[in-house]
Amino acid sequence: MDMPKLQLQTQQAKLILNTNPARHEYHQQKAEQSIQQPKADVKIEQKPGRLTIDQSNAWRNLHFKSVFERTREVADDANQKWLEGIGRMAEEGDDLMRVENGGNPVAEHAKNKSVMNFTYLPGNTPTYDLVKARYEANPAVIEVQRNDPIIETTPRYPQFEYQRGSVDVSLAQHADVKIDWKI
């Protein structure tokens, strides 16, 4: 015996998908920035130094002396001559006291006093070490006032553009099932 057979035929459904992708745009501009650096305030105060030149030794060496120094030298020289004169008079007195020893002490003394001896010493050429120079420097007073930079910034925020995507779904073919009995 023949048995009937069940025969199935199926057809799948077909979908059509049309997609439009999403679109995203992003723009970022640079920020505007201004930086200024003011110069520092600097104040320098320099007091002049002190220069001292002592050339008195050089002038003394040339015999150009001050009145006070010349007076002191003359007084010292006069004192020395006075002491030498006292000694010479004591010696002459001793010579006159010993007349009995012979000779002519009065004539000898007159002869010695008739000759005048003096020496003049002209000044010497000054040399470099006779002039004393001294310099005292005053330190500089430096004041610096720092100025901070001036920074101005204008931010630029990002710009976004977004367009949504879409999906269109349509049916291109319907699903179908056929059942048939075959004998």
Determine the pLDDT at residue 121. Answer: 66
**pLDDT tens for each residue of 158-174:** 999 999 999 999 988 88
Output 113-118 pairs: Cβ under 8 A, ≥24 positions apart. none
Average pLDDT over residues 69-88: 91
- The most confident of the ranges 7-11, 65-69, 117-121, 150-154 is 150-154
Average pLDDT over residues 49-60: 86
Determine the pLDDT at residue 4. Answer: 79
Determine the pLDDT at residue 161. Answer: 92
Residue reference for tokens 């320099």? 46
Average pLDDT over residues 65-87: 90
Q: How far apart are CA 53 and CA 131, in angstroms?
A: 7
The token duo for 4 is 């009937």
Average pLDDT over residues 70-81: 92
Phi-psi region of 124 (alpha: psi -120 to 50; beta: other; left: phi over 0): beta
**pLDDT tens for each residue of 101-155:** 777 888 888 887 777 776 766 656 656 677 888 999 999 999 999 999 999 999 9
- The most confident of the ranges 38-42, 61-65, 95-99, 105-109 is 38-42
